[in-house]
Amino acid sequence: MLVSAKEMLEKAKAGHYAVGQFNINNLEWTKAVLQTAQELNSPVILGVSEGAGKYMTGFKTVAAMVAAMDGELGITVPVALHLDHGTYEGCYKCIKAGFTSIMFDGSHYPIEENIAKTKELVAVAHNMGMSIEAEVGSIGGEEDGVVGMGECADPDECKAVADLGVDMLAAGIGNIHGKYPENWAGLSFETLDKIQQKTGVMPLVLHGGTGIPEEMIKKAIDLGVSKINVNTECQLSFADATRKYIEAGKDTEGKGFDPRKLLAPGAEAISATVKEKMELFGSVGKA
């Protein structure tokens, strides 16, 4: 059931668990995430970066595919279709395309400009019944060519953006997209605690969910994180399983080259990763 992310995140915040955002790349990805959420009776957020949207030929294609798949698979758990790290223009495209949620990432603008653009988009999104995520303090690492250094957000700036009426807030706390380097200092719980105190009931978002140790995830949820984004880990699981299938020569046996067979182990691996994360985040049975 396609919905905005507002209610599922408010419930998660109140219930001290987090909803997973899993980024999608194609039909197999989307199907694996939706079926796993349904099987586990968990709410879920499908994340679409601008690059992934372009790869899938545009946001309209994505919105049409997700809406049709949601219906054809008989998905009854709450599903939000969410733009990940949207530009100002990208947000408007997704609003028109039929997404149910957007993220405006204005973290690279001076704070005044981030606030002005976020404020405008909050009004437009809410008018359409959509939820909106904002970002303060950039997330480290590289995603779709956008490189961030992973600074910690200023709690006062977080409060200023939260007060604009956004439904969820991504605040940098030393988190990084992609694999974490050996010398990573870990999440700054001190910053997270200050942000949570300033922003109150606002659901906080933890980007860069891949490779964060379990205890850190649990502590972040205790400190007010109610949405956790995972992308790279599903990609790694998919690649590993696909490599094993090919290295075992299975694509050369019988009809093993059939894409429905060739891509099946990768899709199963995505499902397993999504299941593991939903169990860790505590969203199982919360639909």
Write the DSSP assignment of 191-202 as a string of letters. Answer: HHHHHHHHHTTP
Cβ proximity to ligand 13P, 140 vs 155, nearer residue: 140
13 contributes a contact to ligand 13P by CB under 6 A = no
* Catalytic residue, candidates 70, 84, 105, 154: 84
What does residue 82 show for φ and ψ, rounded to 5 degrees? -125, 130
Binding span for ligand 13P by CB under 6 A among 34-42, 111-119, 225-233, 263-271: 225-233
229 contributes a contact to ligand 13P by CB under 6 A = yes
Cβ proximity to ligand 13P, 157 vs 233, nearer residue: 233
232 contributes a contact to ligand 13P by CB under 6 A = yes
Cβ proximity to ligand 13P, 152 vs 245, nearer residue: 152
137 contributes a contact to ligand 13P by CB under 6 A = no
Instruction: Pick from 42, 114, 131, 231 the residue near ligand 13P by CB under 6 A.
Output: 231
- Angle subtended by helix axes 27-39 and 264-281, to nearest 10: 40
Cβ proximity to ligand 13P, 277 vs 286, nearer residue: 277
Binding span for ligand 13P by CB under 6 A among 67-75, 106-114, 120-128, 201-209: 201-209
Q: Would residue 84 show up in a list of annotated catalytic residues for this protein?
A: yes
What whole-number distance in Å separates Cα of residue 161 and Cα of residue 152?
Answer: 15
Nearest Cα to 4, choosing from 113, 136, 98, 75?
Answer: 98
* Backbone CA torsion sign across 33, 62, 108, 197: negative
What whole-number distance in Å separates Cα of residue 79 and Cα of residue 34?
Answer: 8
Cβ proximity to ligand 13P, 4 vs 237, nearer residue: 237
Binding residues for ligand 13P, rule CB under 6 A, total 15
What whole-number distance in Å separates Cα of residue 86 and Cα of residue 103?
Answer: 5
Judge contact between 286 and 40, C-beta under 8 A: no
Longest dimension (CA), the chain: 62
Instruction: Pick from 209, 224, 265, 282 the residue near ligand 13P by CB under 6 A.
Output: 209
Judge contact between 174 and 140, C-beta under 8 A: yes
**Under rule CB under 6 A, which residues in 71-90 are in contact with ligand 13P?**
84-85
What is the residue whose two structure tokens read 């992609």?
A: 178
CB of 260 to ligand 13P, least distance (A): 27
CB of 232 to ligand 13P, least distance (A): 3
**Under rule CB under 6 A, which residues in 155-184 are in contact with ligand 13P?**
177-178
Counting DSSP H helices and E strands in the chain, the numbers are: 12, 10
CB of 184 to ligand 13P, least distance (A): 12
Instruction: Pick from 154, 233, 269, 271 the residue near ligand 13P by CB under 6 A.
Output: 233
- Angle subtended by helix axes 59-72 and 88-97, to nearest 10: 40
SS3 65: helix
51 contributes a contact to ligand 13P by CB under 6 A = no
Residues ≥6 apart with Cβ < 8 Å to 186? 174, 216
Instruction: Provide the annotated active-site residues.
Output: 84
Contact positions toward ligand 13P, by CB under 6 A?
A: 23, 47, 84-85, 177-178, 207-210, 229-233
